[in-house]
Amino acid sequence: MSSSRSQARTRTSKPKLTFLVETENLHRTYTMGKVELHALRGVDLQVEPGEFVVILGVSGSGKSTLLHLLGGLDRPTQGKVIIEGEDLSELSDNQLAEVRLQKVGFVFQFFNLMPQLSAQANVELPLFLADVPAKEAQTRATELLTLVGLSERREHRPTELSGGEQQRVAIARALANQPQIVLADEPTGNLDTKTGAEIIRLLKKVNQDQKQTVIVVCHDRRLTEVADRVIEMRDGQFISEKPGGAKT
């Protein structure tokens, strides 16, 4: 058999990537003086493309630490975070920054918008960082703000927007570079009940209509109603897993 045929067979027999996000024996320990805080204790997670996964836990359970590791905002003490088959621990800081820019969109409890910029400019910002031409960035940002129901509020700054509107801008910004994964940390935690419900519906719409993989860490059990899978955390470990409301 020729070497070219052998190489072709090797390529075609390569196993298909199943998981978009995967962790293996993930640990994160923080040293505070003489005390070691074990935020994560051997977490194994697999998330398929297009899944909506909710990770529940009280404050201090390790869920935000996990999200930061998944997004490359922090590095594990032990174990691996694998995104699209790529081990993040093998990447340089610059390469991790590129992963955060291109592959992951973040939604935070406190919005983290640039206060001096309009809603439009906040959504355009990650596009400019990715060297998207200005006209294309403007068009993309306008489309996303329309998607989240803020087409009439594009020129307003964060201080001129309600909490729910600011979170909508944050979701639009998270989608700007069409990332494979959206990571949301307590996205309803700073909102009233009605507005929180609107954000939950919007996240589900993003998951369904944009085919977006969504991983949410929270203590808001309403999010379990739209999830494909629900995982509970306690003391840095997963303690249970079950289908979410979207699967029942």
Q: What is the pLDDT of residue 17?
A: 57
Among left, alpha and beta (phi > 0; psi -120 to 50; other), residue 88 is alpha
- Is 117 inside any structural domain? yes
- Is 7 inside any structural domain? no
Q: Is the pLDDT of residue 138 over 80?
A: yes
- Is 58 inside any structural domain? yes
Q: What is the pLDDT of residues 171-196, one digit of tens each?
A: 999 999 999 999 999 999 989 999 99
Q: Which secondary structure element, helix H or strand E, spans residue 30, and what is its range?
A: strand 21-32
- Is 232 inside any structural domain? yes
Query: What's the average model confidence in pLDDT over 71-78?
Result: 94
Nearby residues of 244 by Cβ (< 8 Å), 6 or more positions away: 52, 54, 224, 225, 226, 227, 228, 229, 230
Q: What is the pLDDT of residue 11?
A: 42
Q: What is the pLDDT of residue 33?
A: 86
Question: How many domains is the chain built from?
Answer: 1
Q: Are 40 and 65 in contact (CB under 8 A)?
A: yes
- Is 235 inside any structural domain? yes
Q: What is the pLDDT of residues 35-49, one digit of tens each?
A: 888 999 999 999 999
| CA separation for the pair 11, 181 (Å, rounded) | 27
Q: Which two tokens stand for residue 17?
A: 């990537």
**CATH code, domain carrying 197:** 3.40.50.300
- Is 155 inside any structural domain? yes
Please count the CA atoms within 13 angstroms of the CA of 168 that sit on its side-chain side: 29
- Is 29 inside any structural domain? no
Q: Which two tokens stand for residue 145?
A: 């703000």
Q: What is the pLDDT of residue 10?
A: 42
Q: Are 74 and 100 in contact (CB under 8 A)?
A: no
Q: Is 130 helix (H, G, I), strand (E, B) or coil?
A: coil
Q: Which two tokens stand for residue 175?
A: 């989608």
- Is 36 inside any structural domain? no
Rounded to the nearest integer, the mean pLDDT of the chain is: 90
- pTM for the model stands at 0.89
Q: What is the pLDDT of residue 1?
A: 45
Q: What is the pLDDT of residue 21?
A: 96
How confident is residue 16, by pLDDT bands cut at 50, 70 and 90? low
Q: Are 212 and 47 in contact (CB under 8 A)?
A: no
**Domain span at residue 59?**
48-76+90-247
Q: Is 74 helix (H, G, I), strand (E, B) or coil?
A: coil
